[in-house]
């Protein structure tokens, strides 16, 4: 059952990014690539790297059987507008999560707990910026059995 919730979390994050975050990105005044998942890659599309890892729960969370996870989202850009893209995606993801803190009922709560803008190694070129977003996801432990 545990693996199932992990897959559901990843799917819900992908749906949020390719759905509501893309809608929010459309509201910006300049072109920003859409977030897509799948085999398509080309101009106008970006696919962030998403990874999930377990994290330490607080004592209270352990007592009431809540599992906690970190979801890391990494965007890498190699265009002159990449710094602007970092800020735009960070703002859109933050707003989308604030609007949907349960990912459509999949989790108990999701929150942005880290945001890191990584400048390129070669300064002044604008290309090579990265955005790392870290989300903390809590899920009530799903206990199965006859009751």
Question: Domain residues of the chain, as ranges?
Answer: 2-140
CA distance 28 to 4: 36
Kindly report, residue by residue over 43-96, the tens digit of the pLDDT. Answer: 789 999 999 987 666 666 666 677 889 999 999 988 888 899 999 999 999 999
| Residue of higher predicted confidence among 138 and 14 | 14
User: How much of the chain exceeds pLDDT 90, in percent?
Assistant: 60
The CB density around residue 74, as the number of other CB atoms within 10 Å, is 15
Predicted local distance difference test score (pLDDT) of residue 146: 35
Predicted local distance difference test score (pLDDT) of residue 58: 65
CATH class of 2-140: alpha beta
Q: Do 111 and 101 meet the contact criterion of CB atoms below 8 Å apart?
A: yes
Kindly report, residue by residue over 87-138, the tens digit of the pLDDT. Answer: 999 999 999 999 999 999 999 999 999 999 999 887 766 578 999 999 999 8
Helices (H), 22-81: 22-26, 59-63
Predicted structure pTM score: 0.85
């Amino acid at each position: 059952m545990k693996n199932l919730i992990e897959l559901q979390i990843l799917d819900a994050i992908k749906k949020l990014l390719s759905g509501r975050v893309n809608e929010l990105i459309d509201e910006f005044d300049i072109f920003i690539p859409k977030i897509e998942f799948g085999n398509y890659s080309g101009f106008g599309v970006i696919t962030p790297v998403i990874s999930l890892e377990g994290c330490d729960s607080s004592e209270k969370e352990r007592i009431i059987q809540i599992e906690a996870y970190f979801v890391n989202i990494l965007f890498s850009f190699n265009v002159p507008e990449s710094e602007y893209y970092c800020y735009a995606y960070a703002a859109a993801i933050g707003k989308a999560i604030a609007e949907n803190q349960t990912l459509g009922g999949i989790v108990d709560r999701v929150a942005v707990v880290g945001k890191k803008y990584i400048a390129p190694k070669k300064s002044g070129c604008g290309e090579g910026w990265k955005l790392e977003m870290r989300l903390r996801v809590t899920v009530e432990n799903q206990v199965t059995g006859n009751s």
